[in-house]
Structure 1
Amino acid sequence: MEFTIGIGIFSLSLGFLKIRFFFMNYQGVLTKMETEFSQPIQYYLVFENDFINMNQLLDKTISMQFVQYQCLNCGLDKPIYRQGFCKSCFFDIPQAADWIMRPELSTAHLDKEDRNLEYEKKVQLQPHVVYLANSSDVKVGVTRKSQIPTRWIDQGAHEAIEIVEVPNRYLAGITEVALKDHVSDKTNWRTMLKNDIVDENLVEWRERLKPYIPDEAKEYFIENNTETNLEFPVHHYPEKPKSLNILKEQSYTGKLVGIKGQYLIFDDDTVFNVRANEGLVVQISL
């Protein structure tokens, strides 16, 4: 009988019958899954020294166990507060400043520092896109141009379109704020995961919202483009999605039947939001 950790083989001899079981163990800190825009979307769970192509695990049983915390900034085993950071890091580092979630608060274009002006200029003073995405319903959002279509994939949008491309984050932020009075800026994660959605004509939505774009951003309106369609690797959508709290449960085993947005979908309607659990070290067994 032999047993090894990592990629290994469990062999058991019973007289003339020898049974061999193959298994794999991965361990690392969770960060949002990396993606590749293809039909369907390809998903990768990336650890420090390894990665898993999650599409290859569809219809396979996997086990996940919580090991410890690991702040994505300081690397310490401290409870995660938000966005993968411990509490002290969250209130200190520029990667977690208010303008991340509220781009209209950006000030780098004024040469005004919030937490770290060098970092803020690097992120804020680059092309940003205001877009419409249909994941649970039509919503407006903001992202760096370099994050298209990654942002749409992460939100589980099956269709999306750019409507404004501006030179900095502030202009994108005030445009989003103006349009939020006329279209949602939120995704209903349950509706998105159930795939209980309706196709929309996003070109018509773009034209409908054009009059509400602030004067400062009107010149950046995108006149002629078409929507992008996305296909997710889902074999079975959950009827009543129930979110897995791996901290509370400590471990979970289930058959993976789909991946959408940043969610893993299992055959018992359990769903696990990888991005919402950034900073947790887990062990995954196949």
Structure 2
Amino acid sequence: MQLNTTLSKMPAYINGQVHYLLKTDNDFLKINDCIGREFSIEFVGEKYCASCGNQFTDLYRMGFCKNCFFTSPMAGESIIRPELSRAHLDEEDRDLAFEKGYQLQEHVVYLANSGGLKVGVTRQQQVPTRWIDQGAAQAIILAKTSNRYEAGMIEVDMKNHVADKTAWQRMLKNEDAEVNLLEEKERLAGLLSADLQHFVCDDNEIHSMDYPVEHYPTKVKAINLDKNAEVKAVLQGIRGQYLIFEGGGVLNLRGHTGYRVKISF
């Protein structure tokens, strides 16, 4: 079968195991069903901005053209650095209506085990999607806040004690750390600045994610469609936003947002 699509982040849901959907031009592909089969992705040389939708020879960052990266509220600084949020002060960065809708809602600060312990921030409505996107094996909520700025300030404080980046190579080799998330929550909550302590929540549920992977590689090599336009191998699994191929090649679909491809299996 052959399908055409412009790559973007895969939606996912949990039904026992994590299930992924790959958006195509006309439908969604239940890509879990392709695991164990030869799977081909061929980049056809076209790239489209995730914001304006126009075609470009190259994209700047995060799937955006250069203009949209510097002007679209979807690429504003507070998206990557929550502590820079200003909507709670009624101050605009790029589009105040968008920023109020995005920033002025409940957020959580969480601890996750994704190749090692890390801290992160997400909107409450993005639980557990954010954890799945990062390939976390387990996660626990450390704190709950009423807006993005508050969550960002907690994350900044926590980054003095714990990483804030996913160890993607370890995660894709299934080398998750031996860590007790409840104990780490208690330890890190005790290190939080006094003026932020009241955000720590009593929700101590540990959330576990089971990814559809038949075989984890011992070594991983990132696939870049700009350098190698086609990848064709047995699909051995999916974790985070990565497709894991036989031989250790891994393709970050989110990192190729906007790339126009042909898919065959």
User: Shorter-chain TM-score: what band?
Assistant: over 0.9
- Following the alignment from structure 1 to structure 2, what is the Cα–Cα distance between the partners of residues 66 and 122? 35
Higher relative contact order (CA 8 A, sep 6+): 2
AA aligned to 1:77 is Q
Q: Is 1:66 aligned with 2:50?
A: no
> Percent of counterpart pairs with the same letter?
46
Structure 2 equivalent of residue 28 of structure 1:
5
Contact 1:174 1:214 in 2 (8 A): no
Structure 2 equivalent of residue 54 of structure 1:
31
**CA spacing shift, 1:252–1:259, aligned 2, 3 Å:** same
AA aligned to 1:260 is R
Deviation at 1:215, TM superposition (A): 4.0
- Following the alignment from structure 1 to structure 2, what is the Cα–Cα distance between the partners of residues 114 and 217? 25
- Following the alignment from structure 1 to structure 2, what is the Cα–Cα distance between the partners of residues 95 and 187? 22
Deviation at 1:190, TM superposition (A): 0.6
Structure 2 equivalent of residue 41 of structure 1:
18
TM score, norm. by length of structure 1:
0.90
Deviations 1:158-180, CA, capped at 9 Å, x for gaps = 00000101000000000000011
Q: Of the candidates 221, 224, 231, which is equivalent to residue 252 of structure 1?
A: 231
Contact 1:94 1:116 in 2 (8 A): yes
**CA spacing shift, 1:50–1:250, aligned 2, 3 Å:** same
Q: Is 1:139 aligned with 2:124?
A: no
Query: SS of the counterpart of 1:31?
Result: coil
Q: How many residues align?
A: 263
Structure 1 equivalent of residue 130 of structure 2:
151
Query: SS of the counterpart of 1:197?
Result: coil
Structure 1: stretches of 5+ with no match in the other structure: 1-23
Structure 2 equivalent of residue 232 of structure 1:
211
Moved over 4 A (4+): none
Contact 1:64 1:284 in 2 (8 A): yes
Structure 2 equivalent of residue 185 of structure 1:
164
- Following the alignment from structure 2 to structure 1, what is the Cα–Cα distance between the partners of residues 193 and 14? 32
AA aligned to 2:30 is N
AA aligned to 1:122 is G
- Following the alignment from structure 1 to structure 2, what is the Cα–Cα distance between the partners of residues 84 and 198? 31
Q: Compare 40-49 and 51-60 and name the one that shifted more.
A: 40-49
1:38-117 pair list within 5 angstroms: 38-67=15-44, 68-78=46-56, 79-117=58-96
Deviation at 1:278, TM superposition (A): 0.5
Query: SS of the counterpart of 1:170?
Result: helix
AA aligned to 2:9 is K
AA aligned to 2:160 is D
Deviations 1:244-280, CA, capped at 9 Å, x for gaps = 1111111121100010010000011110001111011
TM score, norm. by length of structure 2:
0.97
- Following the alignment from structure 2 to structure 1, what is the Cα–Cα distance between the partners of residues 124 and 193? 20
Contact 1:171 1:216 in 2 (8 A): no
- Following the alignment from structure 1 to structure 2, what is the Cα–Cα distance between the partners of residues 279 and 238? 27
- Following the alignment from structure 1 to structure 2, what is the Cα–Cα distance between the partners of residues 49 and 121? 33
Q: Of the candidates 251, 258, 262, which is equivalent to residue 283 of structure 1?
A: 262
Query: SS of the counterpart of 2:155?
Result: helix
Deviation at 1:39, TM superposition (A): 2.2
Q: Compare 109-118 and 191-200 and name the one that shifted more.
A: 191-200
Structure 2: stretches of 5+ with no match in the other structure: none
- The CA RMSD over aligned residues, in Å, is 1.1
- Following the alignment from structure 2 to structure 1, what is the Cα–Cα distance between the partners of residues 113 and 175? 11
Q: Of the candidates 198, 205, 217, which is equivalent to residue 219 of structure 1?
A: 198
- Following the alignment from structure 1 to structure 2, what is the Cα–Cα distance between the partners of residues 115 and 145? 23
AA aligned to 1:91 is F
AA aligned to 1:204 is E
Contact 1:166 1:217 in 2 (8 A): no
Deviation at 1:155, TM superposition (A): 0.6
- Following the alignment from structure 2 to structure 1, what is the Cα–Cα distance between the partners of residues 207 and 28? 28
AA aligned to 1:245 is N
